[in-house]
A and B are shown apart, each in its own frame.
Chain A
Amino acid sequence: NAGVTQTPKFQVLKTGQSMTLQCAQDMNHNSMYWYRQDPGMGLRLIYYSASEGTTDKGEVPNGYNVSRLNKREFSLRLESAAPSQTSVYFCASSDPGARQETQYFGPGTRLLVL
C-alpha cells in the first residue's frame, strides 16, 4: 500500500515549456487535490476533484489544468510554465462523507521554472 505517489520528484523547466505532474493513490479514495506550497504562504489549493469525472477550481487555478483520468489518478498540467509557478506541488486524496475525513498527502514535486 503505497498511499499517494507523485512523479517526478524534481523538475527544472524553462519559461514557456509545458509539463504534466502525475499523482496516483491506491486507497480507493473518491476525492483528490492539488496544492502548491510557497514560503510564507502555506498550502494553496489549485484544483480538486470531488469524485471521478468532476473537477473544480481552487484558490489559485490560473495557469494550470487538471485531468481526473480515473479514480486512482489525477494529473496537473502546466501548459506554458512561468517563473511564478516555481513551487513545491503536493497531491492529496481523501474519502469524503465523514466529518473525520483525513487528507493523505504525497511526498511532493519540486518545480523550478527558469
Chain B
Amino acid sequence: GNSVTQMEGPVTLSEEAFLTINCTYTATGYPSLFWYVQYPGEGLQLLLKATKADDKGSNKGFEATYRKETTSFHLEKGSVQVSDSAVYFCALRPSGNTPLVFGKGTRLSVIA
C-alpha cells in the first residue's frame, strides 16, 4: 500500500541552525510528493511539492528533492527562524485521482 514515514519529533533548534526533516515513502506507480506546514491553531497549508523524480520543490527558503532511488523527500532549510516553528507534514498522492496520504507530522521548535 501507500504510506509515508517521517522522523519523529519534536525537533528543537536554535535560530539560524540547519534543518533536515527526513521523509521516506512507499507507493505504487509514480506519486507526487508534498510538504505541508501547520502553524499553531491553524489548518495545513502547502509548503512545497514535486511531481516527478529529481524535481526540487522550494518555498520560503525550504527545499526538498524527489529521490526515486531512495524513495525519499527530505525537507531542508539552511537557516531556520523562530517563525518557522510549526508542525511539518510529508504527504504523497498516488497515481490517479486519489486523496493525499500523510505522514504523522514533525513538530519543529526554533528558539532564539
CA distance A103 to B93 in the complex (A): 10
| Contact residue among A45, A48, A105 (Cβ-Cβ distance under 8 Å from B43) | A105
| Contact residue among B42, B97, B99, B104 (Cβ-Cβ distance under 8 Å from A41) | B104
B residues within 8 Å of A by Cβ? 32, 34, 36, 42-46, 49, 51-52, 89, 93, 97, 99-100, 102-105
Q: Is the interface of A mostly helix, strand, loop or mixed?
A: loop
Whether B104 and A42, one on each chain, are in contact in the complex, defined by CB atoms closer than 8 angstroms, is: yes
* Cβ-Cβ contact count across A and B, 8 Å cutoff: 50
Residues A27-67 near B (CB distance < 8 A): 31, 33, 40-43, 45, 48, 50, 58
Nearest-neighbor residue (CB-CB) of A48 within chain B: B99
Whether B99 and A99, one on each chain, are in contact in the complex, defined by CB atoms closer than 8 angstroms, is: no
15 inter-chain pairs at a CB distance below 8 angstroms, sorted by A residue, are: A4-B43, A31-B99, A33-B99, A40-B104, A42-B89, A43-B44, A43-B89, A58-B99, A90-B43, A90-B44, A100-B49, A100-B51, A101-B93, A102-B34, A103-B99
